[in-house]
């Protein structure tokens, strides 16, 4: 396409391990589809990672968030490495970004794609979205440890649910369900958790009155996970608290054929700060550096980023390209039972761009 090019500044945080191998394919796909739609990308790389933590004692510099707050979006590969405790990469990078940039929606689309083997590959029409509350709830710093080392030792962990924090993620979920035209399920556990979950349920019922066109119901989390495994085709939008949404989205990714293909978006719906797009998989130290990582999760993230930036046609073209490759060729990376390298698979997706 000729004419005006709209340019975006993207903060690239490849992170550790295969995070560094899956972002270049995602960028190559963005550039290819962007060239067809008059969209350009300027990538600013940041070396924030466990490797940096090992060398300098911090995942990112003290002013790290200020350096990326004016970017249009953040693409993140994966952070985590053996020897660095998980809480370092979480609390040293991911959680501050999500919280300070008000990325209060974690969106995880779950689809069983034609040509992807999985435990439920024969299940028809699996196409749902988990909307996870991303900044408050069970993952809070409130609490403490008492009587360390004594017989009466204890740990207390408080969950924090605020009315505005719950209302805004519910509003997002109900609006999404209204747009998709199907229904919404709220994950709860108000039969066992006596303060926060009844509060969550009340706010869901309240919010539902503003979206009379959306059919909704609530399910206890224990029953819900069983139903997702037994009958995933019956779900459309599932909204859940931070902890429940975390568990649901990994379960759902596994149901859909593996962690290597699953994308996630950490969205700031108000757009006053950048949103962050990251594949669900980790740094996979066992295969890092071999050029065999599956780039699909990251490429799907690129599609979600395009959608968020206001380019649904370009987003659909990326999605159409990789689903076409999966449906019409046997080329797969090792995690999906094939022998292809990251580059071989990426090249096929690049070839398909603009044709599907």
Long-range CB pairs of 160-163 (<8 Å, 24+ gap) are: 160/136, 161/136, 161/137, 161/196, 161/199, 161/200, 161/241, 162/136, 163/203
77 binding partner (options ligand ATP, Mg ion, none; Cβ < 5 to 8 Å by kind): none
Report, in Å, the least distance between residue 333 CB and ligand ATP: 6
Burial per residue of 148-176, b for 16 or more beta-carbon CB atoms within 10 angstroms, e otherwise = eeeeeeeeeeebebeeebbebbbebbbbb
Query: Which partner, ligand ATP, Mg ion, none, binds residue 259 by CB below 5 to 8 Å per kind?
Result: ligand ATP
**Site residues for ligand ATP per CB under 6 A:** 18, 78, 80, 259-260, 281-284, 286-287, 293-294, 297, 333, 335
Among Mg ion, ligand ATP, none, the one that 297 touches (CB under a kind-dependent 5 to 8 A) is ligand ATP
- In whole angstroms, how close is the CB of 342 to ligand ATP at the nearest point? 8
Sign of CA pseudo-dihedral 136, 259, 276, 4: negative
Q: Residue 75's closest CA among 266, 246, 250, 344?
A: 266
CB of 291 to ligand ATP, least distance (A): 11
Binding window for Mg ion (CB under 5 A); candidates: 83-91, 144-152, 175-183, 275-283: 275-283
Q: Is 297 in the site for Mg ion (CB under 5 A)?
A: no
Q: Nearer Cβ to ligand ATP, position 218 or 294? A: 294
Minimum gap (Å) between residue 262 Cβ and ligand ATP: 9
The yes or no reply on residue 282 touching Mg ion (CB under 5 A) is yes
Of residues 165 and 282, the one with the C-beta less far from Mg ion? 282
Residue 208 C-beta: closest distance to ligand ATP, Å: 35
| Least distance (Å) between residue 281 CB and Mg ion | 7
Q: Of 258 and 274, which CB lies nearer to Mg ion in the complex structure?
A: 258
The stretch near Mg ion (CB under 5 A) out of 22-30, 193-201, 214-222, 281-289 is 281-289
Asked if residue 131 lies in contact with residue 237, where contact means CB atoms within 8 angstroms, the answer is: yes
**Residue 12 site contact among Mg ion, ligand ATP, none (CB < 5 to 8 Å, cut-off depends on kind):** none
Q: Find the residue with minimal CB distance to Mg ion.
A: 282
Distances (CA, A) of 231 to 97, 223, 238: 35, 12, 14
Tokens linked to 280: 């669900």
Residue 245's binding partner out of ligand ATP, Mg ion, none, with CB under 5 to 8 Å set by partner kind: none
Q: How far apart are CA 157 and CA 138, in angstroms?
A: 8
Sequence-ordered list of residues with C-beta below 8 angstroms from that of 269, at least 6 positions apart, any chain: 104, 105, 168, 172
Residue 54 CB coordination number (10 Å): 12
Please state the closest distance from residue 300 (CB atom) to ligand ATP, in A.
Answer: 11
Catalog residues that contact Mg ion under the rule CB under 5 A. 282
């Amino acid at each position: 396409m000729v004419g005006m090019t709209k340019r975006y500044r993207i903060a690239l945080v490849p992170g550790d391990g295969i995070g560094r191998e899956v972002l270049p394919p995602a960028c190559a796909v963005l550039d290819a589809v962007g060239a067809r739609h008059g969209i350009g990308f300027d990538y600013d790389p940041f070396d924030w990672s466990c490797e940096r933590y090992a060398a300098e004692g911090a995942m990112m510099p003290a002013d790290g968030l200020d350096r990326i707050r004016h970017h249009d979006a953040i693409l993140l590969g994966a952070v985590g490495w053996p020897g660095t405790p998980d809480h370092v990469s979480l609390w040293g990078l991911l959680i501050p970004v999500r919280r300070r940039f008000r990325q209060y929606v974690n969106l995880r689309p779950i689809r069983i794609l034609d040509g992807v083997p999985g435990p439920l590959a024969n299940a028809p029409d699996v196409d749902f979205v988990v909307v996870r509350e991303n900044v408050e709830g069970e993952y809070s710093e409130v609490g403490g440890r008492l009587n360390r080392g004594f017989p009466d030792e204890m740990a207390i962990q408080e969950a924090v649910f605020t009315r505005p924090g719950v209302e805004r993620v519910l509003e997002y979920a109900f609006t999404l369900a209204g747009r998709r035209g199907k229904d919404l399920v709220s994950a709860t556990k108000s039969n066992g958790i006596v303060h926060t979950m009844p509060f969550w349920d009340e706010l869901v019922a309240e919010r539902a009155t503003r979206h009379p066109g959306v059919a909704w119901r609530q399910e206890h989390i224990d029953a819900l996970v069983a139903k997702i495994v037994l009958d995933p085709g019956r779900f459309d939008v599932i909204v859940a608290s931070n902890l429940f949404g975390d568990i649901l989205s990994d379960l759902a990714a596994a149901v859909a054929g593996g962690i290597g293909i699953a994308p996630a978006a950490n969205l700031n719906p108000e757009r006053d700060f950048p949103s962050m797009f990251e594949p669900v998989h980790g740094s996979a130290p066992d295969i890092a550096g071999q050029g065999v990582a599956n780039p699909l999760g990251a490429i799907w993230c690129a599609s979600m980023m395009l959608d968020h930036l206001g380019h649904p046609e370009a987003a659909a073209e990326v999605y159409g390209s990789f689903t076409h490759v999966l449906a019409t060729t046997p080329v797969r990376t090792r995690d999906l039972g094939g022998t292809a390298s990251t580059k071989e698979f990426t090249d096929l997706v690049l070839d398909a761009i603009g044709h599907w």
